[in-house]
Amino acid sequence: MGLPAWSRLRIASQTASLILGNLYVRGWADASIYTGRSKMFCIPGLHCYSCPSSVLACPVGSIQSIISTNGFLGGLTTGRSDSLVILGVIGFLLAIGFLAGRIACAWVCPFGFLQEMLYRIPSRKLTVPAAWRNGKYLVLLLFVLVLPMTLRMVPGAGGDPWFCKVICPAGTLFAGWPLVLIHGDGAFQTGFLFTWKSAVLILILLWSVGSKRPFCRVLCPLGAFWGLAGKASVFRMRVEDSCIKCGKCRAVCPVDIAIFREEGSPECIRCGRCIPECPVGAIRHTAGLNGAGNDSGE
């Protein structure tokens, strides 16, 4: 393959995560989903819990589910256990974010893995305008937080997981399409939302061929969350003074950033691809343990 060892390790990690998160293979045979207790825990990545083989829960879906229950905010203040569980999910995401930022995007997330694989398909390649990266923060705010918490379609019912309903391509690809196709028609009544989401999925998959990880950079609310937390993460990238700004790091970066220009970038997924690429060896990981990464001293 000609890739550096670090990158081969990363592909192995992504593959292993895909397998370990999808051990319930039987689900594909009979269009069922796993109902074991492991689904109390979230996968650190975007993978629908309605995927037939998934044995873990999706953190984004879980957040929407919890905050959309009636009386969620009140429940937080009174200590209702079905509200307090949000701390478990948010804490899980923050822990990863504060430890190593968007590292799971590079090393675990199945949908990120898919986009990287699609980009390898030879085609005309397009850059994504830098400002588009703001989109994912709006997706997080509006579709994961505000709408589920506030919008009510039916009186008495809770809210809806709007990110899952109108955006998430991982859900359509790994859950919606398999369940509808395997179960056959009649049982599942596919309607407008299914068509909409299928179109969104196809567009994103096509875009992934022409651009680097477009969903991760422009739409993913999980990436948005981890990116923000990652600005205060322990494990991060460092660029030394010896950098000559040649831009070779950007050429191989899976999220198309020039790390020397955006060292603390919320885009960086800590994949390490840029490290062997730098001709002067100016880039490295740091967890600040050897003292050299201490920002306050500089």
Partner 1 sequence: MHRFKSGRRLQPSVHRRQGSVLNIPLPVRIALAAAAIAMMVSGYIWGDPVVIWQKAASICLECIGVG
Partner 2 sequence: MNHRGYLEWLWLPMILLFLIPVAIHVSTHSSIESPAVQGSLITGRDGLDSLLSEAAGKRPVIVNFWATWCTPCVAELPHIDRVHSSLDGAVLAIAVDIGDPDLGSLLDFREAVTLSLPVVWLDEREAAQLKEEWGLPDVLPVTVFLDATGSESGRALGARSEEYFLETVRGIQPPDTVTPVSDSEGLHIVVAGDPSDSLTAALLDAAIELAGEEGVDSFDPSLPSDREELESRYLPLEGMPYAQPCIGTSCGRISRTVEDLTSTVNALTP
Stretch that binds partner 1, among 12-20, 94-102, 134-142, 218-226 (CB under 8 A): 94-102
Site residues (CB under 8 A) for partner 2, limited to 139-168: 139, 142-143, 147, 151, 153-160, 162, 165-167
With contact defined as beta carbons under 8 Å apart, do 281 and 242 qualify? yes
How many residues touch partner 2 under the rule CB under 8 A: the total is 43
Cβ-contact 174, 48 below 8 angstroms: yes
Structure tokens at 262: 């955006």
Instruction: Determine if 196 is a binding residue for partner 2 (CB under 8 A).
Output: yes
Is 94 one of the binding residues for partner 1 (CB under 8 A)?
A: yes
Rounded Cα–Cα distance for residues 32 and 235 (Å): 39
Q: Which amino acid is at 218?
A: V
Kindly determine how many residues on this chain lie close enough to bind partner 1 according to the rule CB under 8 A: 79
With binding defined as CB under 8 A, does residue 190 bind partner 1?
A: yes
The span of 108-116, 134-142, 161-169, 212-220 binding partner 1 (CB under 8 A) equals 161-169
32 binds partner 2 (CB under 8 A): yes
Burial class (CB in 10 A: 0-12, 13-18, 19+), 182: middle
Of partner 1, partner 2, none, which one does residue 296 interact with (CB within 5 to 8 Å by kind)?
Answer: partner 1
- Residue 76 touching partner 2 (CB under 8 A): no
Q: Which does 180 bind (CB under 5 to 8 A by kind): partner 1, partner 2, none?
A: partner 1
Is the separation of the CB atoms in 25 and 53 below 8 Å? yes
Q: Which of residues 102-131 bind partner 2 (CB under 8 A)?
A: 129-131
Tell the burial category of 12 from Cβ atoms under 10 Å away from its Cβ (0-12, 13-18, 19+): exposed
Residues 95-134 that bind partner 1 (CB under 8 A): 95, 97-99
Our finding on whether 260 is near partner 2 (CB under 8 A) is: no
Return d(Cα 269, Cα 63) in angstroms, integer.
22
Q: Output phi, psi for 81, to 5 deg.
A: -65, -30
Give the residue among 285, 290, 280, 276 at the shortest CA–CA distance from 238.
Answer: 285
Binding positions for partner 2, rule: CB under 8 A: 31-33, 35, 65, 69-71, 82, 129-135, 138-139, 142-143, 147, 151, 153-160, 162, 165-167, 183, 187-189, 192-193, 196, 218-219
